[in-house]
Amino acid sequence: MATAEFDKLEDGNFVGRIPLCKGVIAFGKTLRECEKELRSILEDWILLGFKLQHALPIINGINLNKEAVNESLVSMQAS
Question: What confidence tens digit (pLDDT) does each residue in 22-70 have?
Answer: 999 999 999 999 999 999 999 999 999 999 999 999 998 989 997 756 6
57: alpha, beta or left? (left if phi > 0; alpha if psi -120 to 50) = beta
Locate the DSSP E strands across the chain. Answer: 5-8, 14-17, 25-28
Whether the predicted pLDDT of 76 surpasses 80: no
Q: How high is the pLDDT of residue 16?
A: 99
Q: Is the full-model pTM beyond 0.75?
A: yes
Distance between CA 32 and CA 61 in Å, rounded? 26
Whether the predicted pLDDT of 75 surpasses 60: no
67: alpha, beta or left? (left if phi > 0; alpha if psi -120 to 50) = beta
Q: In this structure, which topology does domain 5-78 adopt according to CATH?
A: Double Stranded RNA Binding Domain (3.30.160)
Where in the chain are the domains? 5-78
> Using 50, 70 and 90 to split pLDDT, how confident is the model at 74?
low
